[in-house]
Chains A and B, each alone.
Chain A
Amino acid sequence: MSVIKAEGIKLVYGAGTSFEKTALDDVSFEIEKGEFIGIIGHTGSGKSTLVQLLNGLLKPTAGRIFLNGKDIWQEPKKIREVRFKVGIVFQYPEYQLFEETVYKDIAFGPKNMGLSEEEIDEKVRAAAAFTGVREEWLQKSPFDLSGGEKRRAAIAGVIAMDPDVLILDEPTAGLDPLGRDALLAQIQNYHAVRKNTVLLVSHSMEDIARIADRILVMNHGKKAMLDTAANVFSRGRELEELGLRVPQITKIMMLLKEKGISVNENILTTEQAFNEIINYLGGSSRI
């Protein structure tokens, strides 16, 4: 059974006003438990709106969302439970941190789940360790942290709730390259250990290509594609029309193929490209 199922969802902002805007229109898909899904799409295509619908922060104007087979709005009073099961790290983590100390921020979720002090402390420390939040930051105000440190604290706060579905909206925007790689590695590690479902929204095709099993492509509020990373990035021309691109490494292999070299062009990472070239040269290698 799929962990998340969206059935014809539509979301209209400011319905009936002059600002009325249909942000999502007739979007349907299913996500299996344990999948790592990448979400890409032009700015304003509806990515952030979609993920907020999945954890019940927004209510669809039409259509239904199922979590583990159950319509999340069937009992509106129980929507809080959905928010514990589907955790979101927002695009701007500043909007997520509000307590006096980083410790209290991370403890906020577990506390609201009604856990004991000891259990809370355990969860906070485990989540902090997982996301690279250092011991000495725990008693600092979240506002005294650098951009990258704030991101980590925000992610720790969501992970501390141990959500079945972890959603990250542009978690690496503004991080330096090492910070970006470290964060992605931590998320990958978390996913491998917890075997939960992860949804990651990003404008970096390179990041999405190397981390996602399947990719959901959004375009003007509609689902444009949902397929494996290799299949999505083999459709370079179409992606271009949607304001997207293939990763640079994929493009290199495509260009090489166009020049008549019969390499595998379904390449998503530098590592894969390196191996492919070495293999290709294998027969004639003089080294």
Chain B
Amino acid sequence: MEEFIKVNDVFYQYESFDEETDAGYALCGVNMTIGRGEFVAIVGHNGSGKSTLAKHFNSIYLPSAGEIFVDGMDTADDDCLFDIRKKVGLVLQNPDNQIVAGIVEEDVAFGCENLGVPPKEIRQRVDEALRAVDMYDYRRHSPDKLSGGQKQRVAIAGIIAMEPECIVLDEPTAMLDPKGRDEVIDTITRLNRERGITIILITHYMEEAVLADRVIVMDSGKVLTEGMPPEVFSQVELLKRHRLDVPQATELNHKLRSCGYELPECVLNAEDCAQALYELIKGMSL
């Protein structure tokens, strides 16, 4: 896979860093590569450095040491700032903090206007972005009358309209109900599959992380481990030692397998878990 983002031994220290109370660097020696068109989930304990890293991907923060390249451009190079921000869009946890205009379509247009896209093209891009997140029918609504899931999709539409090659989402579903979470996750997986947009999803929901192509686990400002979801989520004890968890389906399968039952090494969702249990039960009752 073609390399899109490259993180080389990055350290980061906040300016307000206080030797007495702070443990040290928020990031201390992060290395990772994100491929073009890849869907990567980043998980890790509170304070492990996920949000700090996310803000490095589009040059909001610059490394204290080390370097980051986005599509070959150094994020510390001022001349690349505009191009990097165009390539990498960031969606945050609380949609209320990201809605700026009084009408949905104006809100979605906001980012494009800042990029200096001609008005006619903006119109087209906004309509298309709203269709992509299935919110076109709401284009004339006021954003504050929308549900949390709908607001978050409007925020994503605003990013899509800027036609980024990569979208970074920092806990986009933390305040959403189950349906809103599904809507947002369906939208981003579709953008990834149908448009080849690179997705970096930061989440505390392991059920969401299992949907990615690859999972990166952060711990205390470093990458602890990474791999395809079955590789990462089969290490149940390791994850628990680092304040993480696995989906209930994975846990049940793991516990039964540990008792000696013949089950797959790792299942990641309810359907696969039920199927594996069904086969186990059928096999044993023969």
Contacts and interface: CB of A to CB of B under 8 A. Distances in A.
A174 interface: yes
A184 B249 CA distance: 21
A249 B244 contact: no
Interface stretch (A58-66, A100-108, A157-165, A255-263): A255-263
B174 A41 contact: no
Given A43-B180, A206-B248, A176 B204 contact: yes
Interface string B127-150: 000000000000000000001110
A256 B273 CA distance: 9
Contacts of A206: 248
B278 interface: yes
Interface string B93-111: 1000000000000000000
B179 interface: yes
Nearest to B274: A255
Contact of A252 (B255, B259, B273, B281): B273
A141 B181 CA distance: 34
Please indicate which of the listed interface residues A43, A179, A259, A261 has the most CB atoms of chain B within 10 Å of its own CB.
A43
B1 interface: no
B49 to A, nearest CB: 12
A247 interface: yes
A118 B68 CA distance: 55
Contacts of B206: 177
Interface in A205-238: 205-206
A284 interface: yes
B46 A259 contact: no
A286 B259 CA distance: 11
Given A178-B45, A277-B256, A252 B174 contact: no
A84 B185 CA distance: 41
Nearest to B271: A255
B171 A174 contact: yes
A177 B281 contact: no
A274 to B, nearest CB: 5
A5 B33 CA distance: 57
Going nearest first, the 6 A-B pairs with the smallest beta carbon separation are: A177-B245, A43-B148, A255-B274, A243-B179, A178-B243, A245-B178
Interface of A: 41-44, 140, 144, 146-148, 170, 173-181, 203, 205-206, 243-245, 247-249, 251-252, 255-256, 259, 261, 270, 273-274, 277-278, 280-281, 284-287
17 contacts: A41-B177, A43-B149, A43-B175, A43-B176, A140-B21, A148-B46, A177-B206, A179-B46, A245-B178, A251-B270, A256-B274, A256-B277, A256-B278, A278-B256, A284-B284, A287-B259, A287-B261
Given A177-B244, A287-B259, 4 more contacts: A177-B245, A203-B176, A203-B177, A252-B252
